[in-house]
Copies of this chain bind each other. A is one copy, B any other.
Amino acid sequence: MRAGATKAEVEHVVERLTERGYGANVSGSEVTVIGAIGVLDDDKARLADQLQALPAVDRVMPVLKRFKLASREFQPDRTVVTVRGVRIGDGALTVMAGPCAVESEEQLMTVARAVKAAGARVLRGGAYKPRTSPYDFQGMGREGLELLAAARDETGLPVVSEVLDPHDVEVCARFVDILQIGARNMQNYALLKEVGRSGHPVLLKRGGMYPTIENWMLCAEYVLREGNRQVILCERGLPVPGGETATRNVLDISAVAVVHGTSHLPVVVDPSHGTGKASYVATMALAAAAAGADGLMVEVHPDPEHALSDGPQSVTPAQFATLMERVRAVSAAVRG
């Protein structure tokens, strides 16, 4: 309560709690603190808002985490997502790699073979691209999905690709193995529910307007609550401070530790979007491996200076092979 709240104002809050069947614990010396006891999950946010609307209430402070199905309290054992035999979250480091956008059969197959040879276990590639400007290349669409499926058939690598539109979830699920929700769409709840209902594994990037860890978990909760437990989280960088031009985002490596402490879901790191510059990708891949990430997601292009999107942050197949060797060494050192 605010300093100077009257006895009647305190009682009003207590009544609001008891009329809903909750307990109330009143304490405090300088100011009065009222603890709400036994509040139902579905009622928490609403109750908090309603109490906050009272002028005599200074602040409503939620004591409990707002996510449940994603929490370690709900499921102490770590989730392992298995896709065509590839396990993500079992303690090893699983590398996903491929081009930002699928551009042609030749481009995709060149990269797919190269990243497989270097040790990647999952192939990434964008068919539907979220672009800041409507004038930019929007991806090959369904044709890109078909190329991805063909690449999977040849290489045996399962495929992850972004879906932007609830209308496209079905067709994407038909061709790809993991549905990616991009950072801009983290809080696109219609899309989250749709991929949740698809039952397909989901890779959920951190982002949105309020990219806190709790909000990310609540977005995972949207998927989990549809009965889909195959969720992989992906850290890909937060907006830089105003005026920064050195990197495109700030990759929050500590998110790996936070997620591992609070959730049972696996978390991978994307050093390509995380930095926006090819020359920093290897450094951040090593950092993520040292931090114990469950995986990496790396953009590889055979010819970055002719890439149709994200060339500046794509490494070449040769650079990727070197990166993989170094990542393996760090991974071995840190995992003992």
Chain A residues near B (Cβ < 8 Å): 3-4, 16, 23, 25, 27-31, 33, 35, 37-38, 41-42, 44-46, 49-55, 59, 61, 63-64, 66-67, 73, 130-137, 164-168, 183-191, 207-215, 218, 221-222, 225, 238-247, 250-254, 256-258, 261-262, 274-275, 278-280, 283-284, 286-292, 304-312, 314, 326, 329-330, 332-334, 336
Contacts and interface: CB of A to CB of B under 8 A. Distances in A.
Contact of A184 (B46, B208, B262, B336): B208
Select the residue from A53, A61, A188 with max chain B CB neighbours within 10 A: A53
A191 B222 CA distance: 19
A51 B312 CA distance: 8
Nearest to A58: B63
A29 B37 contact: yes
A204 B252 CA distance: 22
B185 A188 contact: yes
Given A53-B305, A243-B239, A27 B28 contact: no
Contact of A221 (B133, B165, B312): B133
A43 B295 CA distance: 34
Contact of A42 (B135, B274, B291, B304): B135
A204 to B, nearest CB: 13
Nearest to A189: B130
Given A31-B63, A50-B304, A184-B188, 6 more contacts: A16-B305, A166-B190, A184-B209, A251-B252, A251-B253, A284-B291
Contact of A283 (B240, B257, B286): B257
A257 B285 CA distance: 12
Nearest to A54: B305
B221 A134 contact: yes
A189 to B, nearest CB: 6
Contact of A73 (B4, B27, B274, B291): B4
A134 B213 CA distance: 16
A159 to B, nearest CB: 21
Contact of A49 (B184, B215, B307): B307
A140 to B, nearest CB: 14
Select the residue from A35, A46, A190, A191 with max chain B CB neighbours within 10 A: A190
Contacts of A274: 254
Contacts of A283: 253-254, 256-257, 291-292
